[in-house]
Amino acid sequence: MSFWKTDFIKVNGFNENLVGWGIDDSEMIQRLINIGVQGKRLKHKAIAFHIYHKEQDKSLFHINEEIENETERKKLTYVEKGIDQYLN
């Protein structure tokens, strides 16, 4: 996944209220969609790298899923606990 820095800042980056494994990418993508960003699929058209990391605990996935559903339902565009806490 890639995105413009200005768009990342507009939605306040990744939602740091998410816990454990899952939904962090798709929840932020939903906020980007909610501000009008249109994505492109580059499957088999770009080089991609994945950095190996230990998987996090999946037991709280349902909480993250509800946060993402709320983001979509309420058309949220900004998250309170995100990148801005590190920019000041």
- Listed by start position, the domains of the chain span 5-81
Tell me if the pTM is above 0.75: yes
Residue type, 5: K
CA-CA distance, 26 to 38, in Å (whole number)? 14
62/67 Cα distance (integer angstroms): 9
Q: What is the pLDDT of residue 74?
A: 98
**Taking a C-beta distance cutoff of 8 angstroms, is the pair 11, 35 a contact?**
yes
Separation CA 28–CA 11 (nearest Å): 8
Q: What is the pLDDT along the chain (88 residues), one digit of tens a residue?
A: 889 999 999 999 999 999 888 889 999 999 999 999 998 888 888 888 888 888 888 898 999 999 999 999 999 999 999 999 998 7
